[in-house]
Structure 1
Amino acid sequence: PYSVRNLETLLGISKSEINASINRSVSSGLAIKDRNSGRANPNRRNLHNFIVHGLKFVFPAKAGAMTRGIPTAFAAPMLKGLLISGGDYIHIWPFAEGRDIGQSVEPLFKSVPEAALKDERLYEYLALVDALRLGNQREAKLAEGRVYERLLKK
C-alpha cells in the first residue's frame, strides 16, 4: 500500500502532482480504482503496453553532453553486464553528487536521480524505461523482456 505523503517523500514530487498523476493514470486506463478501497492500482497489461510501445514517443530521449551523474539504461548497476557494449559511453542522469561520467540523458522528472538512489526497485524500472527510450532494437528487446517479467509474470 502507498500513501501520497510517502510517495512525496520517496519521489520528490509534490502531493498535488502525485494526485494529478494518479487521476491521469485512472483516466487513461493505466490504473484502475479498487471498488472497495477506492485506491488506484496499476493496470499492469496497459502499463506494460504503454511503457514498451508508447513511452519513447511521449518522452523521447537523446544522449547529450558528457557530464557527471547516476548510470541509467544498461549502465545501471542492476542491469550492468546484461548487454555487451561496443565501447560507447554509458548513459547517465545528470546529478552533481554522482560518481560516474557519461553521456547525459534527461530523466523523466527532475527528481529521478535522487529517487532512484532511495529505492533500488524504482531505479531498475526507471533504468529499463531509459533502455527502451534510448536503445537500439537489440537493447529495447532485452529491456522489453525484463519489463514483461517485472509487470506481467506473476
Structure 2
Amino acid sequence: MLKPQDTLLALKYWALQSSGLHLPVRDLAAALDMSASEVSKGARRLLVARLLVSREGGYYAEVNALTEWLSFGVRYAYAVQEKGYGRGMGTGWSCELVRTEMVPPSPGVIWAVPGGMQEGVIVEPIYKGVPVAASQDALLYKALALVDAIRLGRPRELAIARAGLKRLLTGRES
C-alpha cells in the first residue's frame, strides 16, 4: 500500500528524469526531507504499484500511470485538511508558478513554512517534506501545487488542474 511520501518520491523521480538528472539515494532523501531507508522502501512500493519502472540501473516515473494516480487517486487517498490561517508558501492556484485562467482564491492557500511570504489558509501537504522539496526544485513545486489544486478543486477547477498537470508531466506544456 502506498504511503503519502511515495507520491512525493514519484514526483521527484519524474522531475529528475525531466531535467536529465540522477541523484544518489542519500541526496534524494535529503532533498525530500526523508531518510534513505524511506526512499528505498518507497521506491519498492512505487515499483509494485507500477508508478516507477526500473531500467538501466535507475528508477523512472511511469508518466501515464503517475498522471492517472495524481489526477484521480490522490484526491481521495489524501484528502485536504485545513489547519487555520498563517504565512507560508502558496499551493494550488495560489502558487506563483501555476499560470492558468483560474483566479487565485482570496485568501490564498498555503503550506505553513517559517518565514513564508504569502498569507492564507494553511493546508496540510501530502507529506511533511513537501515544502522543503518544493523550495529546492521549481518543477517539482509546480507539479505539487497542481496536485493540491486537484485535491482542493471543485468540478471546473478539477478539469483545469488535471489538464495542466497532464501537460506538465508529459512535457507538452508551452
Per the TM superposition, whether the score is higher than 0.5 is: yes
List structure 1 runs of 4+ shifted beyond 6 angstroms.
none
Residue 25 in structure 1 maps to residue 43 in structure 2: no
Q: Match for residue 15 of structure 1?
A: 36
Residue 66 in structure 1 maps to residue 85 in structure 2: yes
- The structure number with the bigger radius of gyration is 1
Stretch of structure 1 that moved more, 23-32 or 56-65: 56-65
Q: Distance in 2 between matches of 1:120 and 1:19?
A: 24
Runs (5+) with no aligned partner, structure 1:
none
Runs (5+) with no aligned partner, structure 2:
1-21
Q: Distance in 2 between matches of 1:81 and 1:47?
A: 22
Mapping of residues 113-152 of structure 1, within 5 Å: 113-152=131-170
Please state how far the C-alpha of 1:9 moved relative to its aligned partner.
Answer: 2.3
- The residue type paired with residue 2 of structure 1 is L
Q: Match for residue 61 of structure 2?
A: 42
Please state how far the C-alpha of 1:140 moved relative to its aligned partner.
Answer: 1.3
- Give TM-score scaled by structure 1 length: 0.90
CA contact (8 A) 2:31 2:133 kept: yes
Q: Distance in 2 between matches of 1:64 and 1:138?
A: 25
Q: Distance in 2 between matches of 1:131 and 1:112?
A: 15
Please state how far the C-alpha of 1:63 moved relative to its aligned partner.
Answer: 3.0
Deviations 1:27-72 (CA, angstroms, capped at 9, x unpaired): 11111111xx232211111111100010111111033311111110
Q: Distance in 2 between matches of 1:99 and 1:152?
A: 30
Q: Distance in 2 between matches of 1:151 and 1:111?
A: 21
Q: Match for residue 119 of structure 2?
A: 101
Please state how far the C-alpha of 1:115 moved relative to its aligned partner.
Answer: 1.7
CA contact (8 A) 2:93 2:103 kept: no
Task: Give the alignment's Cα RMSD to 1 decimal.
Answer: 1.6
- Give TM-score scaled by structure 2 length: 0.80
Q: Distance in 1 between matches of 2:99 and 2:84?
A: 21
CA contact (8 A) 1:69 1:95 kept: yes
Please state how far the C-alpha of 1:151 moved relative to its aligned partner.
Answer: 1.9
Please state how far the C-alpha of 1:95 moved relative to its aligned partner.
Answer: 1.0
Q: Distance in 2 between matches of 1:52 and 1:150?
A: 12
- The residue type paired with residue 114 of structure 1 is V
Q: Distance in 2 between matches of 1:123 and 1:153?
A: 15
Deviations 1:3-32 (CA, angstroms, capped at 9, x unpaired): 212212221111111111110000111111
Stretch of structure 1 that moved more, 59-68 or 128-137: 59-68
CA contact (8 A) 2:63 2:169 kept: yes
